[in-house]
A and B are shown apart, each in its own frame.
Chain A
Amino acid sequence: MSLFNLVLSVLVIGATFFVFGQRAAAGQQATGTIKLHSRSHYHGMWAAITSTLPALLILLVIVLGKNLLFQHWASHFFPPEVAGGDAVDRAIALAKITNVVDGIKFGEVEPWVQSAGEAWTRWESDTIIVANVLVLGVSLTGGLLGYRRISFKFRARNHVERILTWMLIGSSTVAIFTTIGIVLSILFESIRFFKLIPPQDFLFGLEWNPQFEGAERAGSGGGTATYGMIPMFVGTFLISFIALAVAVPVGLFSAIYLAEYATLRVRGIVKPLLEILAGVPTVVYGFFAALTVAPVVKSVGESVGLEVASESALAAGLVMGVMIIPFISSLSDDVINAVPQALRDAAFGLGSTKSEAVRQVVLPAALPGIVAAVILAVSRAVGETMIVVMAAGLAANLSFNPLDAVTTVTSQIVTILVGDQEFESAKTLSAFALALMLIVTTLALNYYALQIVKKYREQYE
């Protein structure tokens, strides 16, 4: 029975128990003189829960855990030189075995791989039988046990509600588990990377050149491949800087205009239009940057005698700036609107013009919020992927010239991790180290922005 059918049959069993449970409870209600504690459908729900919940949990554990278990078992088949070898050899051995399981064959298969593969296939089929029997068995017994508890004394509602509460709590822990998943997956691989490449070489290295990935494997040392992250961070911040140079003036002045000058009607039209810019998928921006903006930048630059790379940082930065405009404008708009009207009135009372009031009173008051908005925009720009993948280059030039091709952290991550990769090479692992740096950067920026906002809020409350 396939997984889907198994889940479906458990649900059918649950529905059946619901119907019977409700009927039984309602029957007791009808015949007895004593009122039930809970309404009859709670009894039905109780039977349904006892028949589905444990069974589905067991199924989840089996589905998620079987691969880990099989990998552990399969390692018993390894010949001593593999079992005693490093993580690379073991991962290759596992890949060979799974290839046999999937029926993919590359040339001659070693006998131990063949037998491990056959054993794996056997475990798979055994697991399916065990899972079917176990899950259906637990479902039926659980349902029967729940059903038998139905009586006028049984407080079905309290039990059902307690379980629902636990399910709500469980749901809210998903966020925690996601964070843990992100942190652990990136941290572990990064630590493995730092075992191959010393952290100081990564953090302060000025050269990024991961192509020669066979080198450290072959034992000739890491001399040929270099993993310095500085060029990528320079590229990232160069593109972010260009983006901000576009987005901050345009976004901020739009926000000022919309908050202080525009009539309600204009505001009602312009604001949603600006928000469309935020809703356009980044892949569309990337296409636009690569196809429309980059050639224009190149031809304009060349017409004034400048040498422009066809994948210049300027093109990517300009388009990213357009993408960020709505962030800055709507966040600044909120902040400007939060400045108390009394401050403006006081400025007008002293005879200042509107622009003087905005420049000398409103903006200074809103400045912390605006700075926070800009920092949030920087963190968006740093984490933005598709525009730079499509419009910025891959050459890791350490350059501050916006007309050069630069590369960014995110575009390197995508380039390294797209397609099949060997999980043990320093090149693949370097993507995780880059991702670690990326998360640290964005979270630090967000934390900093939050602190500024917190500090600002205290002023008017």
Chain B
Amino acid sequence: MSDQVSLGLSPERAAERVAESISFRKRRENRFLFLGKSAVAVALGFLVLLFAGILSKGIPGLFQHYVTLDVQLDAERLDPSGQGTLESLADGDFDGVVRDALYEALGGPTGRKAKRQARKLISSGSGQRLMHHVLDNPDQMRSKVALQFAVDDDVDTFLRGLISRDTPEADRRVSDQMISYIDLLQAKGRISYEISDYLFFGSASRDAEMAGIRGALVGSILTLLVCIVIAFPLGVATAVYLEEMAPKNRFTEIIEININNLAAVPSVVFGIMGLAVFIVIFGMPRSIPLVGGIVLALMTLPTIIISSRASIRAVPPSIRDAALGVGASKMQTITHHVLPLAMPGMLTGTIIGMAQALGETAPLLMIGMVAFIVDVPSGVTEPGTVLPVQIFMWADFAERMFIQKTSAAIIVLLAFLISMNAAAIFLRKKLERRW
């Protein structure tokens, strides 16, 4: 365009051209601004869509339907040997007692077919639930108590209105007979919709109505504990060395290159390393939070090192000079002055790294934390799983109720992540000093 001008455009002609172009340029300007705004809108729209999708499925997943049954706690049937211990209760006929209470509530169905239909109403884990109740409340023995039992997952889905009555009987998983029973129980006010205690206190289960995240939650906490115990000291020590002591030489350069490379390595590769090094070479067991924590620690180490270095660098040199000036050694300067001042920033970085580790799935799949484990891990060397892996496993199950449970587990996970990030932001705002 400049050559046009150099050809000697007269000022009038030039002004005319500018005037001509103004409306066009203005339109272009508006179009550009519109593109920018719509890009932001699209991105935020995705965010809203994601959260709306999770919340709309997950909030119902926090609840489930229960049926209240009046159970006759018959000592002879439940605890034949009368010791009240877990072993003696194992001989008791809890399923039978729950079944009888159910038949009673339904007005005594007759015939084997009717009884079988009735049994399909409640969760197959109801006997277990009664056993734990008896174990916790031995004084209620020989009395009649009203207890809540989870309904079967198909019945729950029906009660949520996700299975239509109009579907032909052969095509739905709830029979006409069962529907009439459900109506009967509802008319009697025995069916309630409450916060699911199975979700928070139950363990992994193939039955959707009994599945819970307790084991995964404990596993996540144990794994994160191992992770923080390893990653925080190592990260801070590395950052201190690199910022305060390291001479500028080949060795330091190699360390820095390595840290940057590790930050770029895909997380699944850390899992492969964990599998090959810790499990195959060192012979550690699979599926344990200890190995998971070590792998996640190595993975989050670069994050912690980088943020710790930044916060050490933010401590003004005058503080170091003052400490050195009154006779402190290099190490005393660091431990007495630099570290305390840099600590808020380091903690913030560590929390963000831990949030990353909490949400990480792929490396833990590699080291076998994907196993189906019913027991809640009681230590870092017991097999366990973690919340994201539990979500991954549940997402594979076909039952409709698992979709809701999965979404509910995601809500719990997101709640943890958001509170960790909020804590990091709070810490940064409250404690960080600007020099």
Task: In the complex, identify which listed stretch (A170-178, A200-208, A221-229, A302-310) lies at the interface while the others stay far away.
Answer: A170-178
Q: Which residues of A contact B275 (CB under 8 A)?
A: 417
Chain A CB within 8 A of B42 CB? yes
Q: Could you tell me if B273 and A186 are in contact, using CB atoms closer than 8 angstroms?
A: yes
In the complex, per-residue mask of B345-380: 1 if CB is within 8 Å of any chain A CB, else 0: 000000000010011111001101010000000000
Residues of B398-423 at the interface with A, using a CB-CB cut-off of 8 Å, are 403, 406-407, 410, 413-414, 417, 421
Q: Could you tell me if B245 and A417 are in contact, using CB atoms closer than 8 angstroms?
A: no
Closest CB of chain B to A288's CB: distance in Å? 6
CA distance A182 to B302 in the complex (A): 15
B: interface residue count bin: 35 or more
Contact partner, A359, options B32, B246, B301, Cβ 8 Å: B32
CA distance A354 to B370 in the complex (A): 53
Q: Which residues of B contact A359 (CB under 8 A)?
A: 32
Q: Which residues of A contact B276 (CB under 8 A)?
A: 181, 185-186, 189, 432
CA distance A432 to B273 in the complex (A): 10
Closest CB of chain A to B282's CB: distance in Å? 6
Q: Could you tell me if A281 and B301 are in contact, using CB atoms closer than 8 angstroms?
A: no
Q: Which residues of A contact B86 (CB under 8 A)?
A: none
Q: Could you tell me if B268 and A179 are in contact, using CB atoms closer than 8 angstroms?
A: no
CA distance A136 to B237 in the complex (A): 27
Q: Could you tell me if A386 and B42 are in contact, using CB atoms closer than 8 angstroms?
A: no
Q: Which residues of B contact A169 (CB under 8 A)?
A: 241
Given contacts A274-B43, A383-B266, contact A185 B282 (CB under 8 A): no
Residues of A22-41 at the interface with B, using a CB-CB cut-off of 8 Å, are none
CA distance A165 to B365 in the complex (A): 37
Given contacts A176-B254, A186-B272, A288-B50, contact A386 B261 (CB under 8 A): no
Q: Could you tell me if B39 and A257 are in contact, using CB atoms closer than 8 angstroms?
A: yes
Task: In the complex, identify which listed stretch (B114-122, B314-322, B388-396) lies at the interface while the others stay far away.
Answer: B388-396
Instruction: Report the nearest B residue to A281, measured CB to CB.
Output: B359
Given contacts A157-B329, A291-B403, A418-B366, contact A281 B266 (CB under 8 A): no
Chain B CB within 8 A of A109 CB? no
Q: Could you tell me if B282 and A174 are in contact, using CB atoms closer than 8 angstroms?
A: no
Q: Could you tell me if B25 and A356 are in contact, using CB atoms closer than 8 angstroms?
A: yes
Task: In the complex, identify which listed stretch (A143-151, A237-245, A247-255, A451-459) lies at the interface while the others stay far away.
Answer: A247-255
Contact partner, A175, options B28, B40, B233, B238, Cβ 8 Å: B238
CA distance A64 to B282 in the complex (A): 6
Q: Which residues of B contact A98 (CB under 8 A)?
A: 283
Closest CB of chain B to A64's CB: distance in Å? 6
Q: Could you tell me if B44 and A282 are in contact, using CB atoms closer than 8 angstroms?
A: no
Chain B CB within 8 A of A384 CB? yes
Closest CB of chain B to A34's CB: distance in Å? 19
Q: Which residues of A contact B234 (CB under 8 A)?
A: 171, 174
Q: Which residues of B contact A439 (CB under 8 A)?
A: 265-266, 269
Instruction: Report the nearest B residue to A71, measured CB to CB.
Output: B283
Q: Could you tell me if B413 and A281 are in contact, using CB atoms closer than 8 angstroms?
A: yes
Chain B CB within 8 A of A423 CB? yes
Q: Could you tell me if A283 and B302 are in contact, using CB atoms closer than 8 angstroms?
A: no
CA distance A143 to B154 in the complex (A): 66
Contact partner, B268, options A185, A356, A390, A413, Cβ 8 Å: A413
Contact partner, B44, options A273, A356, A423, Cβ 8 Å: A273
Closest CB of chain A to B331's CB: distance in Å? 4
Instruction: Report the nearest B residue to A322, measured CB to CB.
Output: B46
Chain B CB within 8 A of A84 CB? no
Q: Could you tell me if A168 and B240 are in contact, using CB atoms closer than 8 angstroms?
A: yes
Majority SS at the chain A contact face: helix
How many residues belonging to A are interface residues under a CB distance threshold of 8 Å?
87
Closest CB of chain B to A459's CB: distance in Å? 22
Q: Could you tell me if B392 and A390 are in contact, using CB atoms closer than 8 angstroms?
A: yes
Closest CB of chain B to A158's CB: distance in Å? 8
CA distance A438 to B270 in the complex (A): 12
Q: Could you tell me if A168 and B43 are in contact, using CB atoms closer than 8 angstroms?
A: no
Contact partner, A167, options B50, B237, B365, Cβ 8 Å: B237
Closest CB of chain A to B308's CB: distance in Å? 11
Instruction: Report the nearest B residue to A161, measured CB to CB.
Output: B331
CA distance A251 to B36 in the complex (A): 10
Q: Could you tell me if B414 and A182 are in contact, using CB atoms closer than 8 angstroms?
A: no
Chain B CB within 8 A of A355 CB? yes
Closest CB of chain A to B36's CB: distance in Å? 3
Given contacts A322-B46, A435-B272, contact A168 B241 (CB under 8 A): yes
In the complex, per-residue mask of A342-372: 1 if CB is within 8 Å of any chain B CB, else 0: 0000000001011110110000000000000
Residues of A105-133 at the interface with B, using a CB-CB cut-off of 8 Å, are none
Residues of A439-459 at the interface with B, using a CB-CB cut-off of 8 Å, are 439, 442-443, 446
What would be 30 A-B contacts, judged by CB atoms less than 8 Å apart? A161-B329, A161-B331, A172-B237, A174-B238, A179-B261, A181-B276, A181-B277, A185-B277, A250-B43, A257-B33, A257-B40, A261-B33, A273-B44, A277-B50, A279-B417, A279-B421, A282-B361, A283-B361, A285-B50, A287-B407, A358-B32, A359-B32, A385-B267, A385-B268, A386-B361, A413-B272, A418-B366, A439-B269, A442-B266, A443-B261
What are the 4 A-B residue pairs with the smallest beta carbon separation, nearest first? Answer: A383-B266, A281-B359, A257-B36, A253-B39
Other than the known A176-B255, A182-B273, A354-B32, what 19 A-B pairs have Cβ atoms closer than 8 Å?
A164-B331, A172-B237, A172-B241, A174-B301, A182-B265, A185-B272, A186-B273, A189-B276, A252-B39, A253-B39, A279-B421, A283-B359, A287-B391, A291-B403, A379-B264, A385-B362, A386-B361, A423-B280, A431-B272
Residues on A lying within 8 angstroms of B by beta carbon are: 64, 67-68, 98, 157, 161, 164-165, 167-169, 171-176, 178-179, 181-182, 185-186, 189, 249-254, 256-258, 260-262, 270, 273-274, 276-277, 279-288, 290-292, 322, 325, 329, 351, 353-356, 358-359, 379, 382-386, 389-390, 410, 413-414, 417-419, 423, 431-432, 435, 438-439, 442-443, 446
